[in-house]
Chains A and B, each alone.
Chain A
Amino acid sequence: MNTKHLWIWSLAGLLWLDFSFGIQPSQVSAADKPYYEGKTIKLIVSSSPGGGTDTAARLVVRFLPKYLPGNPQTIVQNMPGGGGTISNNFFFREAKPDGLTLFQDSSSGLGTFSRGGPAIKYDPRKYRPIGTVARGGSVLMIRKEARARLTDPKAKPIVVGDTDGIRTWVSMTVWAAEYLGWNLRWIYGYPGSGELVLALRQGEFDMWGTQNAKIIQGLLKDGVVEYLAQQDDERRDDFKEVPTFNELLGPKRPSGVAWEAYLAWAGPAQVDKFLVAPPGTPDEIVTMLRAAFQKMAQDAEFKDQATKFFGEEWRTIPGAKTEVMIREATTISKEAQNFLTKIRKKYGLPAEEPKKEPKKKG
């Protein structure tokens, strides 16, 4: 190969790069072809690889294309951090409404939005929901040897561990501290559930909650923890022996704005792992995606795989219902918002003043 050839090849390479920037997949589609034929869907995931949200995303990329016209390719991009802020901000601002960029988020993203603050530059109510994979409610656990200190105000406080201090299950711990007199303090900053499980096993903290049945069963089997409560109003089939938080509170359950604030924090858990398209995605694309999601939910292999990952207690929720649930989970009165801010501040958890309107997209 002589020098002239090398230069030509180099130039060709650079031109290829240039073309790669200039041509978007949507621009090359022909009208008579199925919409997704020859295209690639990029699925942004709000957590790091290996967690529940990522697992839901892996299932989606494997099964959803099967039911989309044109059977697109898929790529996954993990964007963890900030309780979903990083990925939500990015998706809300950058994703084009062409059905080629989707977002797998979790209830944390909704909780973070409700908490508000200057970092929030997204509005989940404007997303176009495709569907939800929801597991049973979170189960709150405590290390066995720490149990005796739970309600002893003179003992060393029980340490609650979390990624960002705003996960939906953390609401149980805060309300238990306030109304049941639990002696707690909170640390947060762990990157993901893997690190949290390890730190719980090490005894770096004593209390943690998760919806992941496999993790809970593993910790129980090894005798590391015992149950305290579960978040759903009704007991999960796979954890029938665990009292609900409502039952635990009993007559001490507050009412009025205090309970409204609790529900505003804990509520998004029911939405769990939801898949959305960007704001402004045309109805025909959303309909196509929702129909594919529903067909995927009936796929026997999908069901089998989901059970392997999430245990028996999981279900799918259609896009239209997900939309309503997201709206409900993120609607909070000013009084309840103020209560939340106050109580979070009281217990040293991240708290922001009531949020301002996020910047409009575009």
Chain B
Amino acid sequence: MLEAAINGLLGVLTPESLGFMALGVLIGSLVGFLPGIGGPSTLAIMLPFAMTMKDPYLVIALLVGMDAVGNTASAIPAILISVPGSIGSQATILDGYPLAKKGQAARALSASLIASLLGGFVGPLALLAALPILRPLVLAFGSPEFFVLTLWGVTMVGVLSGNAPIRGLLAGILGVLLATVGLDPKSGVERFAFDQSYLWEGVNLVIVALGLFGVPECIDLASRKTSISETQEFGGGFWEGIKDGFRYWWLTLRCSAIGAWVGFLPGLGSSVADWFAYAHAVQTEKNNENFGKGDIRGVIASESANNAKEGGGYIPTIAFGIPGSTSTALILTAFIAVGIQPGPDMLTKQLDLTFAIIWTLTLANVIAVALCMLLIKPLAKACFYPFYTVVPLIIVFVFIGAFAANFSSYDLVGLMVFSLLGFMMRRHGWPRPPLLLGMVLGEKMELYLWISSARYGLEWLLRPGVILLFLLVAASLFYPILKQRRKRAEKEAAVL
């Protein structure tokens, strides 16, 4: 194995490989930074070019490098202007933007990058550690287990609802309902599509995220007539953020592990990892009352998870040749075209290439973080520009992002609809994150419940994996309540 690791590293460290990796990192970072243009779309554009390459190491350097860093730069717009650069950074908004409003954008950005860096190490490490047990690991999760995992996600609605749990629940239900819009994937029957072909593919998550958060925050900014930052002190947040990244190493490690785990489950989707990690942080961290109001730990949790997820996503690809996400599906196509046969051979005959993937994931992250670090200070200053300078720019940024998602003018109409909804929700104190989470999980919930019931009837409820996961769901649901009660009891005892 050591020989394969060294060969893999040598393959990655050639000047050509490093050049293609740098190119991949640059494109991946730019795409991550710009909302709307998803990583998979860019990979699809690069695919015909990658398929012409003869050297598999170059394909790995370019495509894996590009894929590895998509979520690193996406934290920048999420923190600065409340617009996620990619769907993997949605949860970063929850504490990132409030930190920017407090004048701590530089701190949030540098902490997010350190978390990304550490997450970017944990992902490949998880892949490495899992090598001997890859196949049983992937096979341990069937449709019933996936369904309970999505249920677990739903329990996070409480965590994301702040002090309005009922409204949070209703927003979550609305999200799940929105996920049902379109043609039913099983039968092709129209659901809430009103014979509009635009709605056949369902409501676009990118448009919803941009509308719910981007535009309402702009309106708020314009009505406050201030800069994004409510204070005018720039401070030394940059180094503080770096220290935060290391100070909360245990949280980073846990959330990275969650990210890697979500990544290797080929049925859960790429937009879930940051939410799972964020909810875990809120549920398990002490003094959690500031989450959602600008707690640096919220940024760290989300950003470490979304980067670690990329490493995990390669586990099913390597174990069985089954892609863990859309991105890995496209990379898999390029692999086959250049003669890499994903599957068991990657653990034996092609182990060098597996290690090349691991090294690329790691190195690409280091390059991307270094690149973004250079931009933090100038970008963070944008938070101190007056609203009349910033608002038009953000609006253009959001609208171009929405249009770039599908090059459809209908998306702009959708953006306006969800902007209005987001504005109304914000104004009347309805939590917006549960709606987004409901949308993310709704489709998967329906799919896995359908298959579980069709396959097992009610018997699936008795599967050991399901019972274990239900216990975890219950623990994550009741543990914070018990903790709160204990705290209250302690306080009362202290008063007495």
Q: Which residues of A contact B (CB under 8 A)?
A: 3, 6-7, 9-10, 13-14, 17, 20-21, 48-50, 54-55, 58, 61-62, 74-76, 78-83, 85-86, 89-90, 93-94, 112, 117-120, 159, 164, 187-191, 194-195, 197-199, 201-202, 204-205, 214, 218, 221-222, 305, 308-309, 350
Contacts and interface: CB of A to CB of B under 8 A. Distances in A.
- Give the 10 A-B CB pairs with smallest separation, nearest first: A82-B188, A85-B188, A50-B329, A81-B185, A49-B329, A10-B392, A119-B188, A13-B396, A187-B454, A62-B48
B200 A90 contact: yes
Contact of A79 (B187, B189, B190, B201): B201
26 contacts: A6-B393, A14-B399, A50-B329, A54-B333, A55-B333, A81-B185, A86-B185, A86-B201, A89-B183, A89-B188, A112-B188, A117-B189, A119-B189, A120-B188, A159-B455, A187-B451, A189-B185, A190-B451, A197-B322, A201-B320, A205-B455, A218-B321, A218-B343, A221-B344, A308-B336, A350-B187
Given A50-B323, A62-B48, A118-B189, A86 B200 contact: yes
A118 to B, nearest CB: 7
B183 A85 contact: yes
A89 B182 CA distance: 12
A2 B211 CA distance: 28
A343 to B, nearest CB: 18
B194 interface: no
A39 to B, nearest CB: 14
Nearest to A193: B322
Interface in B181-206: 182-190, 197, 200-201
A134 B447 CA distance: 30
B399 A20 contact: no
Contacts of A49: 40, 44, 323, 326, 329-330, 333
Interface stretch (B103-111, B136-144, B296-304, B418-426): B136-144
Interface in B348-400: 388-389, 392-393, 395-396, 399-400
Nearest to A88: B188
B172 interface: no
A90 B197 contact: yes
Interface string B101-138: 00000000000000000000000000000000000001
Nearest to A359: B195
B459 to A, nearest CB: 11
Contacts of A10: 392-393, 395-396
A114 B395 CA distance: 47
Nearest to A62: B48
A58 B48 contact: yes
B496 interface: no
Nearest to A17: B403
A205 B58 CA distance: 39
A7 B187 contact: no
A133 B138 CA distance: 32
Given A79-B201, A198-B322, A218-B320, 7 more contacts: A55-B333, A86-B188, A164-B187, A195-B267, A218-B321, A218-B343, A308-B339
A86 B191 CA distance: 12
Contacts of B48: 58, 61-62, 74
Interface of B: 40, 44-45, 47-48, 51-52, 138-139, 142-143, 182-190, 197, 200-201, 266-267, 316, 320-323, 326, 329-330, 332-333, 336-337, 339, 341, 343-344, 388-389, 392-393, 395-396, 399-400, 403, 407, 409, 412, 447, 450-451, 454-455
Contact of B139 (A3, A58, A117, A202): A202
A303 to B, nearest CB: 13
Contacts of B197: 89-90, 93-94
A49 B331 CA distance: 10
A111 to B, nearest CB: 12
A50 B388 CA distance: 46
A13 B400 contact: yes
Contacts of A74: 48
B186 A305 contact: no
A332 B158 CA distance: 54
A37 B460 CA distance: 57
B366 to A, nearest CB: 28
A17 B267 contact: no
Given A58-B51, A85-B183, A205-B455, A20 B188 contact: no
Contacts of A221: 344
A194 B323 contact: yes
Nearest to B330: A49
B392 A194 contact: no
A202 B142 contact: yes
A199 B187 CA distance: 20
Contacts of A93: 197
A105 B344 CA distance: 30
Contacts of A3: 388-389
Given A83-B188, A187-B451, A194 B322 contact: yes
A58 B326 CA distance: 14
A116 to B, nearest CB: 11
A30 to B, nearest CB: 23
A199 B320 CA distance: 12
A201 B320 CA distance: 10
B57 to A, nearest CB: 18
B392 A199 contact: no
A301 B1 CA distance: 34
Contact of A76 (B44, B187, B389, B447): B44
A302 to B, nearest CB: 11
Contacts of A205: 455
Contacts of B409: 21
A83 B188 CA distance: 7
A112 B344 CA distance: 35
B337 A6 contact: no
Contact of B186 (A14, A90, A164, A222): A164
B403 to A, nearest CB: 6
B183 A82 contact: yes
B185 A204 contact: no
Contacts of B201: 79, 86, 90
Given A50-B333, A189-B447, A80 B185 contact: yes
A6 B316 contact: no
Contacts of A159: 455
B332 A50 contact: yes
Contact of B330 (A50, A62, A191, A214): A50
Given A50-B323, A198-B320, A58 B188 contact: no
Given A3-B388, A86-B200, A198-B320, A119 B183 contact: yes
A161 to B, nearest CB: 8
A79 B412 CA distance: 20
Contacts of B336: 55, 308-309
Nearest to B267: A195
B346 to A, nearest CB: 12
Contacts of B190: 119
Contacts of B344: 218, 221-222
B145 to A, nearest CB: 10
Nearest to A10: B392
